[in-house]
Amino acid sequence: MTDTNTENHFLDAIKAASVSNPGAQRLAAALVDSRRAIREAEERGRPGETAAAVARAMALYTLACDLKAAPAFLAWDCLQQIERELMWVATPEELRIVWASYLKEARAKLKNWRLSAVEDLDQLLRPPQPIPPGTPGSTVVEEAQSAGGEVKAPVFTPTVAGLQALMRHVHAASQNRQHKLNIIEKQVHIITALLLFVIGWTLGLAFLGKFDWMEVGAETSLISVLPDGVLAGAFGALLSVAFKLSGADSTDAVPDMRSLNWVTAARLAIGTGAAFPVLVVMSAGFMNFPGQAAKIYLALCVIAGFSERWFRTALEAVASRTQPAAPAAPVAPAAPKP
């Protein structure tokens, strides 16, 4: 592909970044940085393997531009491969800097076998430290010190293959996290839609009088309090989300901040849907509070929408009270007296 076609791909990818889509803007910025890194590698003009690495990076870059309209995972994966390929062009000092940065990131983000593999990789590549004087095998150190020389730990420069292995672990963990967030987001959307459908269906049946037999108190019918309970639960949920957003930290990871968008919709649906379970539990007599039943019901709906933990604890307490008692163990007959 010619340079002109490559630049056209580059410009098309940048223009595709929607102003209202932060994810597309981040991808466009990453494409800009990746193109800059490739040009810097081209300017070094090193022959051999480094030139082949630049060619591979350029091919990946063109593919990333072509995938701008595809799922973001594909374009981001190409950019991560470019970053690994360009390590063949890096100087020893650059290799050490990138290794230190990625090792810190790996120890902060990775878990389980990936973190264990990174630690093994660091131990495998890092040279042994000098043996302190006075210990067996320290004659070289002692001779250097007696000659007035200063013994320093050898400078560790990772191999390109080792650095690429470390980067691959971090990149794979990052991609896996984004993929899991997308799966959870789709599941939350489905559950939220189903929950809202059930809420609407329940309200419709209530207005048709299908639940007239159910009462909150001696004088209060379901139809007179259920809509108010739905609004009270939604109000409590919105308050909870507002408090959470007001306390959000700008240093939080971008995926954590992005998840707040669909969490807000889910919390609203959960708070709204809590009205009917609270009503059923109260009408069955599992929750008895002094005062007017309708007011107590609205207060509990606000609490259920505001505190998911309280709602779950209350339902679990009711569930534990409804469990059948375990049958008593049979008592063995007493032995006859001699």
Distance CA 128, CA 166 (A): 20
Q: What range defines the domain where residue 36 resides?
A: 1-89
Q: Does residue 122 belong to any structural domain of this protein?
A: no
Amino acid at 263: V
What whole-number distance in Å separates Cα of residue 79 and Cα of residue 58?
A: 10
Whole-number Å distance between alpha carbons of 79 and 264: 32
Residue 45 lies in a domain: yes
| DSSP letter, residue 215 | B
Q: How confident is the model at residue 4 (pLDDT cuts 50, 70, 90)?
A: low
Which of 89, 105, 134 is the endpoint of a domain?
89
Decide: 262 and 185 in contact? Cβ < 8 Å.
yes
- pLDDT tens sequence across 173-215: 998 988 888 888 888 888 888 888 888 888 888 788 777 666 6
Q: Higher model confidence: residue 50 or residue 278?
A: 278
Q: How far apart are the first and last CA of the chain?
A: 106
**Where does a domain end: 67, 89, 111?**
89
CA distance 215 to 294: 10
Domain membership of residue 257 (yes or no) is yes
Instruction: Tell me whether residue 146 is in a domain.
Output: no
User: Percentage of the chain with pLDDT > 90?
Assistant: 18
Mutual angle of helices 254-273 and 222-246, in 10-degree steps: 170
Cβ atoms 145, 151 nearer than 8 A: yes
Let me know if residue 133 belongs to a domain: no
Mean pLDDT score, 296-313: 85
The answer, yes or no, to whether residue 141 has pLDDT greater than 50, is: no
Instruction: Express each pLDDT in 65-111 by its tens digit.
Output: 776 655 677 888 888 999 999 999 899 999 999 999 999 999 999 99
Better pLDDT: 305 or 139: 305
Better-predicted residue by pLDDT, 115 or 138: 115
Please report whether residue 173 resides in a domain.
no
Give the chain's domain count: 2
**In the numeric block, which tokens belong to residue 335?**
């032995």
Question: Predicted confidence band at 158 (pLDDT cuts at 50, 70, 90)?
Answer: very high
Final residue belonging to a domain, choices 41, 60, 89: 89
Q: Does residue 99 form part of some domain?
A: no
